[in-house]
Amino acid sequence: MDEKKIIVMSESIVNAIVDISMGRSKFSLTNTVLKKLSNNPALFENVRNCYIEYLGTIEDKIDTTMEVKRLSDFRYEIVDIYEKAVGAQD
């Protein structure tokens, strides 16, 4: 998967985690990522924990090389967690 697809997919995953956490999942279950996260509590928990861990590393804004690398690593990690879980379901 190229970097652009990783970015788009990771944004979809983060948006789905936020929607589920805010109770919006019941209204927008047409989103495939949201649906898979809603129906798989273990996947939701793994991605949520990864997101929480990443959020704990952010101090202000992302403007240093290390902060950009941390963001990139986070994106790859949640996409990897998601794809492994979804691939195991199929």
* Token couple for 67: 């902060």
Which residues neighbour 67 within 8 Å (Cβ) at sequence distance 6 or greater?
Answer: 58, 61
Residue 81: both structure tokens together: 């967690």
> How many domains are there within the chain?
1
User: What does the pLDDT look like over 27-74, one tens digit per residue?
Assistant: 555 568 888 898 899 999 999 999 999 999 988 888 899 999 999 999
What's the predicted TM-score (pTM) here?
0.85
| Domain membership of residue 13 as a residue range | 3-89
Give the helix ranges, DSSP H, for 1-90.
3-21, 32-39, 41-55, 65-89
On whether the CB atoms of residues 35 and 44 are closer than 8 A, the answer is no
